Amino acid sequence: MPRMTRRERLTTIFAGGVPDRPAVKVWGAATRQDACVHPAFEPVRDRAVELTDLMRGAGSPFHLYCGRHHDRLIETHTEKTASPDWVHMVTVYHTPEGDLRQVFRASTRRRPGYIAEYPLKEPGDIRRLLSMPYEPFPFQAAEYQRVDAEVGDAGIATFGLDHAMYGLQRLIGSEQFALWSLEVEDLLEEAMAVFAHRLLEHAHRALEAGIQGVFAWVGPELCTPPLMPPTAFERYVFALDRPLIDLIHSHGGRVWVHCHGRMRQVIRRFADMGVDVLNPIEPPPMGDVTLAEAFAMVEGRMGLEGNLETHDLMTADADLIRARVAAALAAGRGRRLILCPSSGYMENVEPSPEEIRNWLIYIVEGVRMANAMAA
């Protein structure tokens, strides 16, 4: 088989074919002009852009809750806290039935933050959210077209979409969402159906504008075991996402979905609903299936992306990184594999020299090992 370009390789995997060799990807790598959270990441960025199979995100303006009215109906301001290390980012949703308030505790030292107060605190708040007037943005294809042209043969552009279940869950929180699924499921499903319709219309406008590439979204991981039972996955993910995927496929598009965690109970259902590539297929112990098991379960119906934990790149020695890259590539030989760490390459804002070394090993030696399979 002749050597494929990076675009051809990824396109083949998404289209259901077997490429010349597994793809090798760095999540978040786009261009050499991208800002890095730490200067140490610059050589990682540059080598990734030079060597790996790129997937660059793009889109058209969209807001799930109130569309083009978001700039006047949703306001955010910063409040000081008792500690100089933290501030509160307060977001207020102005609805016709009363305000909804969210508080995000944000670090001033680039540490991870968290939501300290969710905007939907009681079931009636869902009605308030749905009372917000919604009007879609005029569709704009220019950004996607620009990114697609810029990436060229180095990879593909992906058109980003929000997610109906995640759009509701992120305003409630995992614990409350699980409880409300037992107490007020009809209300949850009503809101998710509204959001799913908005997403379907947005995707339809993109397809009508001639965008027939890969559509991408995150969110289903918030509705998989052990957070939620498989029955909830069926109602809140499968049933709502399947029509969207069918629409995309009917116009020649493809679908990439991100879902962390344990896949054993749901991976076949992702294939059943028509997902073309599922990310990140975490190996045990974070996940609960090996890459070989995952490929056997989906029976060639879906490409798989991932299988290298970002935590290993942060902490493992160089020999272990080489061994895990080699093992994953071997499991993906002759299959639809995109080797990729489980998250972006700049998760650690203060990387050690060993972490940078590991990222470069993954990129340079991973691509070399993959190329050897195509020789």
Q: How many CB atoms lie within 10 A of CB 365?
A: 16
pLDDT of residue 2: 79
- Indicate whether 158 belongs to any domain: yes
Q: How far apart are CA 225 and CA 273, in angstroms?
A: 18
Cβ(77)–Cβ(71) under 8 Å? no
Distance CA 342, CA 369 (A): 20
Contact by Cβ (8 Å): 56, 39: no
Residue type, 25: K
- 87 and 148: one domain? no
Q: With 70 as the cut, is the pLDDT of residue 1 above it?
A: no
Q: How far apart are the first and last CA of the chain?
A: 9
- Which amino acid makes up residue 282? E
What pTM was estimated for this model as a whole? 0.96
Q: State whether 150 and 20 are in the same domain.
A: yes
Rounded to an integer, what distance in angstroms lies between the CA atom of residue 282 and that of residue 310?
Answer: 10
Over residues 153-206, the pLDDT tens digits come to 999 999 999 999 999 999 999 999 999 999 999 999 999 999 999 999 999 999
Q: Is residue 104 part of a domain?
A: yes
Question: Is the pLDDT confidence value at 375 over 70?
Answer: no
Instruction: Note whether 113 and 161 are same-domain residues.
Output: no
CA distance 273 to 241: 8
CA 111-257-298 angle, 5° bins = 130
pLDDT at 88 over 70: yes
| 254-295 per-position pLDDT tens digit | 999 999 999 999 999 999 999 999 999 999 999 999 999 999
Residue 133's CB is within 10 A of a number of other CB atoms, namely 11
Q: What is the pLDDT of residues 354-373, one digit of tens each?
A: 999 999 999 999 999 999 99
* Interhelix angle 318-332/291-298, nearest 10 degrees: 20
Q: Is residue 130 part of a domain?
A: no
Residue 340: inside a domain = yes
Q: Is 53 in contact with 13 (CB distance < 8 Å)?
A: no
Are residue 76 and residue 146 in the same domain, yes or no? Answer: no
Whether residues 195 and 275 share a domain: the answer is yes
Residue 351 reports pLDDT greater than 90 = yes
Tell me the mean pLDDT in the region 127-135.
98
What's 244's domain CATH number?
3.20.20.210
Mean pLDDT of 242-248: 98
32: number of CA atoms within 13 Å, CB side? 6
Average pLDDT, stretch 13-41?
97
**With 70 as the cut, is the pLDDT of residue 82 above it?**
yes
Calculate Rg over the CA atoms of the chain.
Answer: 21
Report the pLDDT value the prediction gives residue 229, as an integer from 0 to 100. Answer: 95
Q: Are 201 and 136 in contact (CB under 8 A)?
A: yes
Q: Are residues 104 and 253 in the same domain?
A: no
Round to whole Å and give the CA distance between 36 and 32. Answer: 10
Whole-number pLDDT of residue 374: 86
